[in-house]
């Protein structure tokens, strides 16, 4: 289903350049959740003592499956606010698959659209992509200008404060309900298939609101080369 463009919104600076940041539970907390393992990558067997998670936003894991696994009880919030929508009676959970084709990396990668899901969180889980590969995906989000109206859009995005994050194959993202974000952007050499979980009611304006970004907003990818080594440097 094609989502109609609700408005064209332009940053104050017509040539906005965004420097990408590391994608972690801490850096992304204001927009939603970076879902990533709480364990160090070199832990390959059940430890005698339960380790503390790597980030303060994560819950401590607990032993499971006869001590053959560590379970993190809550890794992300799933939100359903459709009781306030135009059609709350038709809401249902949805699990879909987005097969996102790669874009060629450029020094200034354009950000052309931004969207939000007013009543639901939305989680993207990449499949089949290692964190060491050159292919990655961009998480681009913007704060909300609460109480404002621009070009007919209530609570529009603050495009001047857009942020970008470089996410790898061992990380999933949950956009909190109402969070403005770009459609999925995969950069590199291969397609990435994402399992996507959200709530829907089948009403286009309720399920997704899409705006075009005017001007020349872009993410500076000149120093992002891919791979686990680059992830540590960002």
Q: Each residue of 72-85: pLDDT tens digit?
A: 989 999 999 999 99
**Residues sharing a CB contact under 8 Å with residue 86, sequence separation 6 or more, in sequence order:** 201, 203, 205, 206
Q: What is the pLDDT of residue 225?
A: 64
Whether the per-residue pLDDT at 63 is higher than 60: the answer is yes
Q: How far apart are CA 186 and CA 136, in angstroms?
A: 6
Domain 7-37+56-229 has CATH 3.90.1150.10: no
Confidence of residue 128 (pLDDT cuts 50, 70, 90): confident
Instruction: Output the pTM of the full model.
Output: 0.92
| pLDDT at residue 234 tops 80 | no
Q: Which two tokens stand for residue 21?
A: 């940041």
Provide the mean pLDDT of the chain: 92
Distances 148 to 102, 144, 154, 176, 215 between C-alpha atoms, Å = 35, 9, 6, 20, 21
Neighbour tally for 3: CB within 10 Å = 14
CA 48, CA 38: separation in Å to the nearest integer? Answer: 16
pLDDT digits 0-9 by tens, 139-152:
999 999 999 999 99
Q: Label residue 232 by pLDDT band (50, 70, 90).
A: very low
């Amino acid at each position: 289903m094609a989502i109609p463009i609700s408005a064209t919104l332009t940053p104050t600076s017509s040539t906005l350049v965004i420097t990408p940041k590391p994608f972690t539970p801490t850096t992304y907390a204001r927009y939603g959740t970076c879902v990533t393992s709480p364990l160090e990558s070199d832990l390959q067997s059940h430890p005698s003592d339960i380790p503390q998670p790597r980030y303060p936003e994560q819950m401590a894991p607990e032993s499971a499956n006869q001590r053959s696994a560590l379970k993190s009880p809550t890794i992300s919030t799933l939100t359903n606010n459709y009781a306030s929508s135009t059609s709350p009676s038709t809401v249902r959970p949805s699990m879909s698959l987005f097969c996102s084709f790669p874009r060629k990396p450029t020094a200034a990668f354009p950000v052309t659209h931004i969207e939000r899901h007013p009543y639901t969180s939305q989680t993207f889980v990449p499949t089949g992509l290692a964190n060491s590969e050159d292919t990655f995906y961009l998480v681009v989000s913007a704060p909300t200008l609460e109480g404002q109206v621009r070009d007919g859009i209530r609570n529009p995005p603050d495009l001047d404060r857009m942020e970008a994050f470089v996410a790898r194959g061992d990380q999933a993202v949950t956009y909190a309900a109402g969070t403005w974000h770009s459609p999925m952007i995969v950069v590199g050499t291969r397609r990435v298939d994402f399992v996507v979980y959200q709530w829907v009611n089948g009403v286009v304006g309720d399920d997704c609101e899409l705006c075009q970004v005017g001007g020349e907003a872009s993410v500076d990818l000149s120093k992002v080369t891919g791979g686990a080594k680059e992830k540590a440097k960002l």
